[in-house]
Chains A and B, each alone.
Chain A
Amino acid sequence: MSSFTLYQPRDSGLHRLHPLTKLTLTLCGVATAVVLPGFWPNYLLFALFLLPLAAWGQIVCPLLRAVWPIWWPFVLSLFLVQGLFWPGGTPIVTLGPLSFKQEGVLFATAMAGRILVLIGSFLLLSLATRPDALMNALTARGLSHKLAYIILAAIQIVPRFQAKAETITAAQQSRGLETQGNLLRRARALLPLLGPLILSSLMDVEERAIALEARGFGRRTLRTSLILLSEQPWEKGVRALLLLATAVLILARTVLALR
């Protein structure tokens, strides 16, 4: 794999949405997940909002496959920690000195739902939006093009870093460096492995900077873009509506909480 992006190309309505609309969807999803109370709402949000969107984008399976490995560790630790260590509470299952408390399990279920929506929202965005298109939309709204460059370059650099680290390990082992074995030995191997990684990366940065300048990266003129961002006329309205609905929700929750 040559880049670290999750993007799944499809010819779908979701994919054709303007990146800002999808970003708004995500942020609203996140905000809603944080403020929605209780046990069910977040699961409903996931099932009735995120999943249909994913179906629209033909990415239900990739979404579930991407959500699961991130979500289950949270679920496991939440249920263990909250279920077992809920202060007081009503035991439902008892195993020797340990017992699962009803309140803890309920709380864990609610939290897990919240996390499900958080992860799901971000992954939906990543799966259906090209990262460069998103950055493009953001630079058009005033994000610094240098920051956008750094974010995009970071996405692609991970697999290259891994490959480089493997080569360096091989090169140092060939010089008699033991990288396996006890902790002390591994600790001693750290410098010979990290040193070349950092030094050679710094040297690459210098060449990369020259290559970027030679392509006019430092120019202050107005930039254009090869990627065409299209926007259906109703998208602005949808974004406004989403933001409004989320704002109302937050407001309602705050008022309720204050009472």
Chain B
Amino acid sequence: MNLVELHNITYSYPRTAQPALRDLSLAIPQGQFCTVVGVNGAGKSTLCYLLAGFVPHFYHGELTGTAQVAGHDVAQTPLAEMAADVGLVFANPFNQITGARFSVREEVAFGLENMGIPRAEMLARTEEMLALTGLSDLAERSPYALSGGQQQRLAIASVLVMRPRLLVLDEPTSQLDPAGTQEIFALLAKLVRRGETAVVLVSHELEWIGQHADRVVVLDDGRILADGPPRAILASEMLPIPGTRYTQAARRARAEGLAPAQGELPVTLREAVAFFRQA
């Protein structure tokens, strides 16, 4: 049984004419690191909300098709129950802080308090998560006293501590500076290596995706346009977003006869260096 099974999902937000997702089917196995790319308005965030149950339970609207996530029928499962199995992190680090906890440690423990986890276990899991996300030294600080990158790591820690089987991240670095972006991607790389949770990541950072992801799903106008391993998808002509500059340069070089006509186009710097060296 796959962790995520979406069949023929069509969804429209209330009071909108156009569906945000159209006849979308997608299966994600346990432990996979799956990324989603596409232009603004392609349905990437809506897909994230569906996986976590906010579509349809928070946004309402009209949902058809079947969605099974972590053993739950999404349409039938209350949000509170989904939360234990699916973690959601989104772009704005500020708005993910509960605002009702005065230290980083308590912020991380918030979800466990709601789940009624005994205090001893809560402490152990919280400390473990603080260490994993590199926040141990900041545990006593106010969540508001952190930088954007640290706050976003806090958001990830706060969700991961609940031990979700699926972690969904909707453009977690889009509002961060390069240093904050680095922090988040380093953490994600670590999580992926641990392989305990499946990850669905929406991001524009194609070079990073090319290095770390198992799979890239391309959304366009609410449909899946392409789906496959990163190199094949990100270097493809049909990608509706600009590829990395490495891919663009290699494609141009090939068109002008400056590179061999055969072989895969590069996505990352390392691949590009190898590509042009052999050329």
Contacts of A148 in B (CB 8 A): 100
Which of the listed residues A132, A149, A160, A215 has the most CB atoms from chain B within 10 Å of its own CB? A215
The interface size bin for chain B is 35 or more
In the complex the two chains form, is A219's CB within 8 Å of B83's CB? yes
Q: What string of 1s and 0s marks CB contacts (under 8 Å) between B104-136 and chain A? A: 011001111111111100110010000000000
Q: How many residues on the A side are at the interface (Cβ–Cβ under 8 A)?
A: 36
Chain B residue at minimal CB-CB distance from A159? B144
Q: Which of B2-10, B84-92, B261-269 contacts A (4 or more CB under 8 A)?
A: B84-92
Q: What string of 1s and 0s marks CB contacts (under 8 Å) between B151-175 and chain A? A: 0000100110010000000000000
Contacts of B158 in A (CB 8 A): 215
Residue pairs across A and B with CB atoms within 8 Å: the count is 113
In the complex the two chains form, is B80's CB within 8 Å of A218's CB? yes
Q: Which of A102-110, A150-158, A169-177 contacts B (4 or more CB under 8 A)?
A: A150-158
Contacts of A211 in B (CB 8 A): 90, 95-98, 155
In the complex the two chains form, is A224's CB within 8 Å of B79's CB? no
In the complex the two chains form, is B80's CB within 8 Å of A132's CB? no
Q: CA separation between A207 and B96, bound complex, in Å?
A: 7
Contacts of A204 in B (CB 8 A): 94-95
Q: CA separation between A52 and B7, bound complex, in Å?
A: 70
A2 within 8 A of B: yes
In the complex the two chains form, is B79's CB within 8 Å of A218's CB? yes
A256 within 8 A of B: no
In the complex the two chains form, is A212's CB within 8 Å of B98's CB? yes
Contacting B at CB under 8 A, from A135-174, are: 148-149, 152-153, 156-157, 160
Chain B residue at minimal CB-CB distance from A205? B95
Chain A residue at minimal CB-CB distance from B108? A226
A215 and B110 contact, Cβ closer than 8 Å, known pairs A3-B144, A224-B116, A226-B122: yes
Contacts of A160 in B (CB 8 A): 144
Please pick, from B54, B109, B162, the residue contacting A226 in the complex, using a CB distance under 8 A: B109
A18 within 8 A of B: no
In the complex the two chains form, is A156's CB within 8 Å of B144's CB? yes
A207 and B90 contact, Cβ closer than 8 Å, known pairs A2-B142, A226-B119: yes
Binding site for A on B (CB under 8 A): 52, 54, 58, 78-81, 83-84, 87-88, 90, 92, 94-102, 105-106, 109-119, 122-123, 126, 142, 144-145, 155, 158-159, 162
Known: A207-B96, A215-B114, A223-B116; 7 extra A-B contacts, CB below 8 A, are A210-B58, A215-B111, A215-B158, A222-B116, A224-B117, A224-B119, A226-B119
